Structure 1
Amino acid sequence: MDEVGEVRRAAVPLHEPTELEPLLDRIGDARYVLLGEASHGTSEFYWWRAEITRRLIAEQGFSFVAVEGDWPDCHRLHCCVSGAPGVPKDPAQVLWEFDRWPRWMWANEEVAEFARWLREFNAARSAGRPPVGFHGLDVYSLWDSLRAVLGYLRQHRPEHVDRALAAWRCFEPYEQQPQRYARASAIVPDGCQDEVVALLAELRRARDGSSPPGLDAGFVARQNAEVVAGAERYYRELVRGDRRSWNVRDRHLADTLDRLVRAYGPKAKAVVWAHNTHVGDARATDMAAAGMLNLGQLVRQRHAREGVVTVGFGSHRGSVIAGERWGASPRRVTVPPARENSLEGLLHQAVPDDHTLFVFPDQPSGWADQLRGHRAIGVVYRPDSDRGHYVPTVPARRYDAFVHCDSSSALTPLHPLEDELVPAEAETYPSGQ
Structure 2
Amino acid sequence: MSLLDRQEHRTGGGAEGLQDDARLLHALRPHLRAFERADTAPGLLELIGDARFVLIGEASHGTHEFYLERARLTRRLITEHGCTAVVAEADWPDALRVDRYVRGRSDDVDAEAALAGFERFPTWMWRNTVMREFVEWLREHNRSAPASRQVGFFGMDLYSMYASIRAVVAHLQQVDPQAAARARARYGCLDHRGGEDSQAYGYAAAFGAVPSCEDQAIEQLLEMNRRTGATLGTDRDEAFYAQQNARLVRNAEEYYRTLFRGRVSSWNLRDTHMVQTLAALDKHLHTTRGAAPRMAVWAHNSHLGDASATEMGQQGEWNVGQLVRERWGRESVAIGLSTYHGSVTAASEWDGPAERKRVRDGLPGSFEQLFHDSGMARLWLPLRDQPQVAQLLQRERLQRAIGVIYQPDTERHSHYFHTRLPGQFDALLHIDRTHALQPLVPERRWHDGEGEVPETWPSGL
Common fold: TM-score over 0.5: yes
Map 1:355-374 onto structure 2 (within 5 A).
Answer: 355-362=378-385, 363=387, 364-374=389-399
Quick check: 1:7–1:350 contact (8 Å CA) kept in 2? no
Counterpart residue identity of residue 426, structure 2: D
Quick check: 2:275–2:320 contact (8 Å CA) kept in 1? yes
Counterpart residue identity of residue 340, structure 1: P
- 1:146 is aligned to 2:165: yes
- 1:277 is aligned to 2:302: yes
- 1:314 is aligned to 2:338: yes
- 1:296 is aligned to 2:317: no
Identity of aligned residues (%): 39
Instruction: Tell me how far 1:7 sits from its aligned partner.
Output: 3.1
Map 1:24-423 onto structure 2 (within 5 A).
Answer: 24-84=45-105, 86-125=106-145, 127-173=146-192, 174-188=194-208, 191-209=212-230, 211=232, 216-265=237-286, 266-305=291-330, 307-352=331-376, 354-362=377-385, 363=387, 364-388=389-413, 389-418=415-444
Structure 2 CA distance for aligned equivalents of residues 215 and 16 of structure 1: 39
Structure 1 CA distance for aligned equivalents of residues 313 and 307 of structure 2: 6
Counterpart residue identity of residue 143, structure 1: Y
- What SS is found at the alignment partner of 1:248? helix
User: CA offsets per residue over residues 377-399 of structure 1, 9 Å max, x none?
Assistant: 01111211212211200111100
When residues 415 and 128 of structure 1 are mapped into structure 2, their CA distance, relative to the original with a 3 A threshold, is: closer
**Selected match of 1:14 from 30, 35, 40:** 35
Structure 2 CA distance for aligned equivalents of residues 77 and 320 of structure 1: 25
Q: CA RMSD in A?
A: 1.8
Counterpart residue identity of residue 67, structure 1: A
Instruction: Tell me how far 1:207 sits from its aligned partner.
Output: 2.3
Counterpart residue identity of residue 248, structure 1: L
Instruction: Tell me how far 1:166 sits from its aligned partner.
Output: 2.1
Quick check: 2:168–2:245 contact (8 Å CA) kept in 1? yes
Instruction: Tell me how far 1:411 sits from its aligned partner.
Output: 0.5
What's the TM-score once normalised by structure 1's chain length?
0.92
When residues 179 and 208 of structure 1 are mapped into structure 2, their CA distance, relative to the original with a 3 A threshold, is: closer
Structure 2 CA distance for aligned equivalents of residues 259 and 359 of structure 1: 30
Structure 2 CA distance for aligned equivalents of residues 129 and 202 of structure 1: 29
Structure 2 CA distance for aligned equivalents of residues 19 and 186 of structure 1: 50
Quick check: 1:41–1:320 contact (8 Å CA) kept in 2? yes
When residues 225 and 357 of structure 1 are mapped into structure 2, their CA distance, relative to the original with a 3 A threshold, is: same
Quick check: 1:360–1:368 contact (8 Å CA) kept in 2? no
Quick check: 1:200–1:229 contact (8 Å CA) kept in 2? yes
Structure 2 CA distance for aligned equivalents of residues 18 and 231 of structure 1: 36
Q: Which runs of 4+ in 1 moved over 4 A?
A: 212-215
Structure 1 CA distance for aligned equivalents of residues 83 and 339 of structure 2: 28
Q: Which has the larger radius of gyration?
A: 2
| Structure 1: stretches of 5+ with no match in the other structure | 421-433
Q: Which has the higher helix share?
A: 2
- What SS is found at the alignment partner of 2:90? coil
Instruction: Tell me how far 1:21 sits from its aligned partner.
Output: 3.7
| Structure 2: stretches of 5+ with no match in the other structure | 1-19, 447-461
Instruction: Tell me how far 1:210 sits from its aligned partner.
Output: 7.2
Instruction: Tell me how far 1:163 sits from its aligned partner.
Output: 2.8
- What SS is found at the alignment partner of 2:94? helix
Instruction: Tell me how far 1:101 sits from its aligned partner.
Output: 0.4
Partner of 1:427: none
- What SS is found at the alignment partner of 1:287? helix
Counterpart residue identity of residue 368, structure 1: L
- 1:5 is aligned to 2:5: no
